[in-house]
C-alpha cells in the first residue's frame, strides 16, 4: 500500500529532494512484497538467485535483530519473508544520509527521523485519535511507534502467531530509525514483558502505553513537552 513520506527542511538554502525520493523509489522496487518482480517478492516465492547487495545487507541486519531480540523481531514472523518492518526505517536512514541540510524532519507513515532541532514530535494517543498521549522535543534522533490503533493486527507474536494483548503502543527513541522501529516492533510483540526489556536498551528511550491506562517509560522528563487539555 502507499505510504506517505513527508520531508520538511528548515534550511534557508532549501535542499535538493530529488535524490531522496529517487532512493525511496529504488528501495520500493527492490523490497516491496506487493510488486511481483521485486527481489523480496521473488525470494518469498522461493526463487533462487544472487540478491542485490542492498537486499543482502537488509536480510543480514534482520537476522542480527532477530538474534538480538531473541526472536521477537522476525522478518519471517508471518510465515513468509516480509522485511518491511525493517526496510521502512532503513530506507529513511538512507534518505537522511542523502539529504544535504542542517535541519530536517522525515516522517514515513508515523515513524519520524529528525536532524538538528529540537523538533516537537507528538505521540499519538492510542484510543483517542484527535489527541496526543505525549509530546517530545528531540534533536538528531529517530522516533518510531508500533501499535494496533484502529486498523487491527499488523504485528504478530512470532511464537504464537497471535496479536499481543495488554499493550496499546510502544514508542522508541534512538539514533537510527531502522533500529528504533525494530525495537518498537519487538517490544510490542513482547506484550507485558516489553517495558522491562526496553529499560535494558542502550542509547534508546521507550514509552509503552498499556491497555489499563498506565504508561511505562524510560524517556527523561527533559525531553517531555507539556500537553494542553
Site for another protein in 4-43 (CB under 8 A): 4-12, 14-15, 17, 21, 24-25, 27-28, 31-35
CB atoms closer than 10 angstroms to residue 227: 13
Shortest approach of another protein to residue 115 CB, angstroms? 13
Contacts of 125 (CB under 8 A, 6+ apart): 131, 132, 133
SS3 109: coil
C-alpha cell at 75: 522478518
- Whichever of 51 and 149 has its CB closer to another protein, that residue is 149
Residues 131-170 that bind another protein (CB under 8 A): 131-135, 138, 140-141, 143-145, 147-156, 169
Total residues at interface with another protein (CB under 8 A)? 105
Per-residue contact string for residues 105-134; x = within reach of another protein by CB under 8 A: x-xxxxxx------xxxxxxxxxxxxxxxx
Question: Which residues sit opposite 135 in a β-bridge?
Answer: 122, 225
Shortest approach of another protein to residue 80 CB, angstroms? 9
> Do 85 and 185 contact (CB within 8 A), yes or no?
yes
SS3 186: helix
Shortest approach of another protein to residue 57 CB, angstroms? 17
Give yes or no for residue 56 binding another protein (CB under 8 A).
no
CB atoms closer than 10 angstroms to residue 144: 28
Residues 174-193 that bind another protein (CB under 8 A): 174-175
Amino acid at each position: 500500500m502507499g505510504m506517505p513520506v513527508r520531508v520538511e527542511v528548515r534550511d534557508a538554502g532549501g535542499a535538493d529532494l530529488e535524490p531522496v525520493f529517487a532512493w525511496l523509489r529504488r528501495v520500493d522496487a527492490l523490497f516491496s512484497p506487493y510488486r511481483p518482480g521485486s527481489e523480496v517478492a521473488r525470494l518469498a516465492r522461493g526463487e533462487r538467485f544472487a540478491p542485490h547487495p542492498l537486499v543482502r545487507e537488509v536480510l543480514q541486519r534482520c537476522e542480527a535483530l532477530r538474534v538480538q531480540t531473541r526472536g521477537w523481531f522476525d522478518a519471517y514472523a508471518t510465515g513468509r519473508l516480509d522485511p518491511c518492518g525493517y526496510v521502512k526505517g532503513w530506507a529513511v536512514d538512507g534518505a537522511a544520509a542523502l539529504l544535504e541540510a542542517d535541519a530536517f524532519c522525515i516522517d514515513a507513515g508515523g515513524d519520524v527521523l529528525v536532524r538538528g532541532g529540537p523538533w516537537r514530535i507528538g505521540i499519538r494517543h492510542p484510543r483517542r485519535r484527535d489527541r496526543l498521549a505525549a509530546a517530545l522535543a528531540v534533536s538528531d534522533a529517530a522516533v518510531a511507534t508500533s501499535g494496533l490503533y484502529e486498523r487491527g493486527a499488523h504485528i504478530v507474536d512470532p511464537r504464537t502467531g497471535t496479536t499481543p494483548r495488554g499493550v496499546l503502543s510502544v514508542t522508541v527513541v534512538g539514533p537510527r530509525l531502522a533500529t528504533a522501529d525494530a525495537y518498537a516492533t519487538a517490544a510490542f510483540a513482547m506484550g507485558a514483558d516489553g517495558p522491562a526489556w526496553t529499560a535494558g536498551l542502550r542509547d534508546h528511550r521507550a514509552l509503552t502505553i498499556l491497555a489499563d491506562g498506565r504508561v511505562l517509560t524510560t524517556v527523561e522528563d527533559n525531553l517531555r513537552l507539556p500537553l494542553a487539555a
